Amino acid sequence: MELAEQIKQDIETAPIILYMKGTKAMPMCGFSNAVVQVLNQYGVEYRDVDVLADPEIRVRLSEFSNWPTIPQLFVNGELIGGADIVVELHEKEELLPILEKAVVSTA
Amino acid sequence: MTEQDIKGLIESKLQGARVFVTDLQGTGDHFEAVVIAPQFKGKSRLNQHRLVYDACGDHLTKEIHALKLQTHSPDEWKKDPKNNARLA
């Protein structure tokens, strides 16, 4: 499968997927780490994709999402945002309802 | 890049915006920007950020390695009293 097609399929099928630098076990960038720390607080299952594994991932991902920076968090196929937005949603207590939708839709 | 460069890029695309840029590490590649722009009115936070990213163009991801971003429409900004103190 072409990489662009793979990315599209991953985003559309994973309830929660985080494109990041490094892995959730070992984030390689402060912004990616910020999102991992937030998600960890909710204890939700999510898939992580390390964009450092292949520079092409980042190029194709940004073409697909129309979002230039990493990390990028998707829930139910929809881009929620990068680190600033995810942290803001978390602080305003608006993130949990978004994450719950993903959990419910796969239950 | 300098704080002024980035402020200039954003202001030239978003007419009438108030833009505050900080070079976070003094290295000219990690910045924080607070942008209050009339163009943000009625847009989601996601699309507000997209407008700023578009203004930065290819500089973002090349010379600019990180851009921590806070965006507000003028109304959103005014609603939070602590912001007025910040601008005073």
Ramachandran class of A2: left when φ > 0, alpha when ψ lies in -120 to 50, beta otherwise: beta
Sorting pLDDT into bands at 50, 70 and 90, what band is A103?
confident
Q: Identify whether A106 is part of a domain.
A: no
Partner-chain contact A69 B60, CB within 8 Å: yes
pLDDT value for A10: 98
Please check whether residue A79 touches B, CB under 8 A. Answer: yes
Summary mean pLDDT of chain A = 95
Partner-chain contact A69 B61, CB within 8 Å: yes
Q: Identify whether A105 is part of a domain.
A: no
| pTM for the whole structure | 0.91
Q: What tens digit of pLDDT does each residue of A39-68 get?
A: 999 999 999 999 999 999 999 999 999 999
When CB atoms are compared, the residue of A30, A69, A85 closest to B46 is A85
Please check whether residue A81 touches B, CB under 8 A. Answer: yes
Residue A85 has pLDDT above 70, yes or no: yes
Partner-chain contact A79 B46, CB within 8 Å: yes
- The answer to whether the beta carbons of residues A7 and A58 sit under 8 Å apart is no
pLDDT value for B54: 96
For chain B, list residues with pLDDT below 70. Answer: 81, 83-88
Q: What is the ipTM of this complex?
A: 0.87
A95-106 and A30-42 helices cross at what angle (nearest 10)? 70
Shortest Cα distance, chain A CAs vs residue B30, angstroms: 12
pLDDT value for A72: 98
Please check whether residue A68 touches B, CB under 8 A. Answer: yes
Domains: count for chain A: 1
pLDDT value for B85: 59
Strands of the sheet with A16-20, listed across from one edge = A47-50, A16-20, A72-75, A78-81
Question: Measured between alpha carbons, how far is B45 from B23 in angstroms, rounded to an integer?
Answer: 23
Partner-chain contact A81 B46, CB within 8 Å: yes
Look up the CATH number of the domain holding residue A57.
3.40.30.10
- The answer to whether the beta carbons of residues B56 and B1 sit under 8 Å apart is no
Q: What tens digit of pLDDT does each residue of A4-39 get?
A: 999 999 999 999 999 999 999 999 999 999 999 999
CB pairs < 8 Å spanning A and B: 29
Domain that holds residue A55: 3-99
Q: Identify whether A107 is part of a domain.
A: no
Sorting pLDDT into bands at 50, 70 and 90, what band is A106?
low
pLDDT value for B11: 97
* Domains along the sequence of chain B with CATH: 3-86 (3.30.300.90)
Question: Measured between alpha carbons, how far is A87 from A93 in angstroms, rounded to an integer?
Answer: 10
Q: Identify whether A104 is part of a domain.
A: no
